[in-house]
Structure 1
Amino acid sequence: MRSWRQRRRVSQLDLAIEADVSARHLSFLETGRARPSREMVARLAEELEVPLRHRNRLLVAAGFAPMFPEREVRAPEMHAVRQALDKILAGHEPYPALVVDAAWNLVAANRAAGMFMEGVPAELLTEPVNALRLSLHPDAMGGRLANLAEVRAHLLHRLRRQAEVSGDGRLAELHDELAGYVYPGVDLNVAHVPGPTDILVPLRIRHGDRILSMFTTIATFGTPVDVTVSELAIETFWPSDEETAAAFR
């Protein structure tokens, strides 16, 4: 619990006030001089915005059973979730859209997202397929990005931040792997400086004799109480200009 409080940069006093518990009792809980109730673990985890997977681990560490189930996406109970995902993915065509889990592994994608897999070596398409690895690997999209330096810097910054906030060691390992990729002949220190008319960092991909320019939005499920659902993210790609929109159409 202390590690999560420190990761959130919250003092014992501030957490105690927000959780409506005495700072002395919170100190005793962190040092092991007092044992928390199941309700107290849940309350503190909620205030610290601990991911559901890690809330279960906190409960187990305190001697309680996990509170949040973790179902497979294909489980019968997940029918409504799968239906929503399928409708979003299909409804976003002709533009690409995909669903990833907490480690950025591909869960589902629409037909338009197939352009990201074109010419990619088979080993990178072996399950689990990682969306960020596909984005930056030199033999995948990393070798086709016309603005590799700025996209790489943005993705690595976001991934490092996610690793810090979530406490997920898999993300830290993935960050180190992606940061170590080598791109012969590419100066990664030269990136486009945003101008006064820029709004978003585009994803500019060489596709045949064209350069397709896109930006993305990311959506998650509201009020999840299942670990799997809480970790799903839907990334949709949108054309930045009419030429790209026409190419997809």
Structure 2
Amino acid sequence: MRTVGDMLRQWRHRRRLSQLDLALAADVSARHVSLVETGKSHPSADMILRLAGQLDVPLRERNRLLLAAGFAPRYAERPLTGDALSTAGDAIARVLRAHEPYPAVVLDRRWNIVLSNRAIDAFLVDVAPDLLRPPVNIVRLGLENRGLAPRIVNLPEVRAVLRARISRQLAIAPDAELNAIYEELLAPGFEEAGRPAESEVTVPMIFRFGDVELRLFSTTTTFGTPMDITLEEISIESYYPADAETAAYFVKFGAEVLAGE
């Protein structure tokens, strides 16, 4: 079984910090950091959390550090739809509704869709049914040929953006399941062609549905200073029209959805 010292050393190496760098940031001596990492000093729970905080260790992994040292976990992981997170859940629901008629989704750390608004249905026509069985993974949905990939005009650019984002995420917080998705759908070796236009402020996602071409860009929203694992690991992806034609398409789609209810 790995010791808490081994785990802290690995996180320090991942963050490319020396023992002295970490010691200065945490306001402890470099010798103490060395003793903790070698197992010659048994750190308190507060010291573990102080070092983990300076190393930007995710809450889920901070619990594992505490358990490795013989302490109880400090951070809960509660369902987003439960009473404990009802205030946060209500806020998320308001964000999703307010963003209509444009699409928005809530994603977990593995890019599975936790919640979405009604506008997302505009993308799901002709998608293979098994890709829509929960948990729906938005990376798989977007990049598989049975999903949205044939409809994405600039697939190489979209793939490159996803590769960069998930590479950064895995560097911050390794995850075996997300890494498997990365290796399957995003690992270097896919043919990349074309570059985004220099006039673009962001890389748009360009979809073609029949004769209709939709151009969207996205923003990501996360919770500030979360103390719950669920809240730390979710993000809201909001999609915005990049031109007037796309805006008009979703306004029309939204009116049709409301009329059908």
Is the 8 Å Cα contact of residues 141 and 148 (structure 2) preserved in structure 1? Answer: yes
After TM superposition, what 4+ stretches of structure 1 lie above 3 angstroms from structure 2?
none
AA matched with 1:129: V
Distance 2:154 2:178 in 1: 24
Q: 1:217 to 1:37 in 2, by over 3 A?
A: same
Query: 2, 9, 13: which one pairs with 1:6?
Result: 13
Aligned residue runs from structure 1 range 22-61, under 5 A:
22-61=29-68
Distance 2:59 2:130 in 1: 32
Distance 1:165 1:76 in 2: 30
Q: C-alpha offsets along residues 187-224 of structure 1, whole Å, 9 cap, x if unaligned?
A: 932122431x2211000011231110000000001121
Q: 1:200 to 1:30 in 2, by over 3 A?
A: same
Q: C-alpha offsets along residues 162-201 of structure 1, whole Å, 9 cap, x if unaligned?
A: 111112222211101113799xxxx932122431x22110
RMSD: 1.6
> What TM-score results when the alignment is normalised by the length of structure 2?
0.90
Gaps of 5+ in 2: 1-7, 252-261
Please name the residue that 1:200 is paired with.
Answer: 202
Distance 2:39 2:110 in 1: 32
Distance 2:30 2:107 in 1: 39
Distance 2:130 2:142 in 1: 15
Question: What number of residue pairs does the alignment pair up?
Answer: 244
Is the 8 Å Cα contact of residues 163 and 169 (structure 1) preserved in structure 2? Answer: no
Local SS of the residue matching 1:36: coil
Gaps of 5+ in 1: none
Query: 169, 176, 199: which one pairs with 2:183?
Result: 176
Please name the residue that 1:105 is paired with.
Answer: 112
**Pairwise CA distance, 1:105:** 0.7
Please name the residue that 1:69 is paired with.
Answer: 76
Residue 126 of structure 1 pairs with residue 128 of structure 2: no
Distance 2:107 2:72 in 1: 28
**Pairwise CA distance, 1:153:** 1.1
Query: 186, 191, 194: which one pairs with 2:194?
Result: 191
Please name the residue that 1:212 is paired with.
Answer: 214
